[in-house]
Structure 1
Amino acid sequence: MSTRNNAWIAYVFLAPVFIVMTLLVFIPLAQGISYSFTNMNQYNMGNQFLPPSYEWIGLKNYSDLFGTIFQPKSVFRDVLVQTAIWTFVNVFFHFTLGLFLALLLNRKIKGRGIYRMLLMVPWAVPSFVGAFAWQWMYNDKYGLFNLVLKNLGLPAVPWLGDSFWAMFSAILVNVWIGIPFMMVTLLGGLQSIPESLYEAARIDGATWWQQLKNITLPLLKPVAATATTLGIIWTFNMFNIIYLITGGGPVHSTEILVTYAYREAFRNWNLGIASTYGVVILSVLIVFTLFYRRVLKANANEGVYY
């Protein structure tokens, strides 16, 4: 029996996955996109006693959303800027600190295995557990940080009560959680670089900085590009840290797109607007996904370096 005749077996095994994905992903996704073209809210969404009465309004939600970007007080513009700041700052420190720790752990130092295990703790602990622990440490009166500042004779910091410090606090928690992934990924890339290249460089009199610039970073580029792209996607869509640490406050100063979409949907019950935010988020993530595919293709082409 030819392979072509047996192809139906693969479709049989794929059918359950496709059915589950259709029920859990594709149908809700299509519904969410369709809701973004309606004025659905808590009053017209319908329930078990009343039929839905929301109306199709076309692109009005999108025009209202993007039409406020240039207004003096635009929540959408502020949320977009805060999302960009949140994503850039987090990924920047994920990469720089992760690379620094990976370079340290790639050296032959005593107790390297113990250090690796300890540095993996933030990644191993569930994010919501870590968020609750950090939230307690940020408490104005009884938190660890302000108690230490008080003992040092320094004024207390309103970690979650000030716009700047609230964003700083949320970023600090997310950096703490995200560094281990970047560290482990980059460490794997470092260990795949042939040691013979460094030996030849040292024989030629190359300094540590020259080895880093001309050997480590160029050969680490495919791994770093992939890890950074994944980090951007995950950080852009990170909901739980913002929601559990600051709740988007004070006064929306730490809201990002995903948390504001949640607020519109389940607090303000503006489901049409919330769905519009969801489509915007989806569009941005699709762009990043396409870029990620290009990165994977580039990595495959550069695999000859390893």
Structure 2
Amino acid sequence: MAAHAVNNIPSKGQRKWRGMMLVPWVIPPALSTLGWWWLFEPTYSSFNWILEGLGLSAIPWLSDTFWARFSIILVNVWVGAPFFLIMYLASLKSIPEDLYEAASIDGANAWQKLIHVTIPMMRNIISITILFSIIVTFANFDIVRVLTQGGPRNSTHLFASYSFRVGIESGDIPLGAAVSLFMFPLLAVLAFIILRNVRQRTVNI
């Protein structure tokens, strides 16, 4: 939806927005996550300062299981979303205008064009970005390490961070290697399913 909104901005404005969208992605993940840690940090949390200023209770962003997971997801989206938005924007620009003109002639409104023209034409790129997002998330280390170090109670570990925890910090290198290698069959099966569906849709087109 964000890419669709940017695509409807005039060309001059699009350049500025595309540049702004890429900023979170080009900043090193560890550095941007450190900035988020300062916002979540329990003693001097800027978010909690705002909440308390509004008369609300402070939130244990990094010490509660639910909020720690929420914080990890939020930062992960912040880091990765700009790259996917640019990919979606490029895909939107490749959709022939004739399809939208034909839909307008048939009486379709903006919502119907989005559902019946835009999304079907973008299904392949959406599938690829979902696959890429899952692969990057499985192997994510910086965000978990900087924000929570896997806590509280090992509730926010991903494969990469848990492999480091048991293999390096706990000294069980064989187990750490096994955890990291366990990602491969899972991702291989997922990649096979998604890429096969993409290939079938391409042939049908």
Partner of 1:121: 23
For 2:71, which of 143, 156, 169 is the aligned residue? 169
Counterpart CA distance in 1 for 2:180 and 2:96 is: 45
Structure-to-structure mapping, 1:72-221, within 5 angstroms: 100-109=1-10, 111-221=13-123
- The CA deviation at 1:168 is 0.6
1:287 aligned partner: 189
Decide which structure has the larger Cα Rg and report it. Answer: 1
Equivalent residues, number: 204
TM-score, structure 2 normalization:
0.92
Tell me the amino acid that sits aligned with residue 107 of structure 1. N
Separation (CA, whole Å) in 1 of partners of 2:113 and 2:202:
24
> What residue in structure 2 maps to residue 81 of structure 1?
none
Q: 1:111 Cα shift?
A: 2.4
Contact 1:105–1:112, Cα closer than 8 Å, also in 2: yes
| Alignment match, 1:222 | 124
Matches within 5 A, 1:256-271: 256-271=158-173
Q: Which residue number in structure 1 is paired with residue 135 of structure 2?
A: 233
Select the structure that is richer in helix.
Answer: 2
Corresponding residue SS for 2:43: coil
Task: Give RMSD over aligned pairs.
Answer: 1.7
Using the TM superposition, give the Cα deviation of residue 285 of structure 1 relative to its aligned residue in structure 2, in angstroms.
2.2
Q: Deviations over 1:152-200 (max 9, x none)?
A: 2222111111111111111110011111111111111111001111112
Q: Deviation digits for residues 59-99 of structure 1, max 9, x if unmatched?
A: xxxxxxxxxxxxxxxxxxxxxxxxxxxxxxxxxxxxxxxxx
Distance (whole Å) between structure 2 residues aligned to residue 299 and residue 238 of structure 1: 30
Secondary structure of 1:111 counterpart: helix
Distance between the aligned counterparts of 1:176 and 1:212, measured in 2?
25
Mapped to 1, the partners of 2:185 and 2:133 lie a distance apart of 17
Matched-pair identity in % = 36
Separation in structure 2 between the aligned mates of residue 204 and residue 293 of structure 1, nearest angstrom:
33
For structure 2, the 5+ residue unaligned runs are none
Amino acid at match of 1:249: G
- Structure 1 residue ranges without an equivalent (≥5): 1-99
1:295 deviation in Å?
A: 4.9
Following TM superposition, the consecutive aligned residue runs of length 4 or more in structure 1 with deviations greater than 6 angstroms are: none
C-alpha separation between the residues in 2 aligned to 1:157 and 1:147? 10
Do structure 1's residue 297 and structure 2's residue 178 form an aligned pair?
no
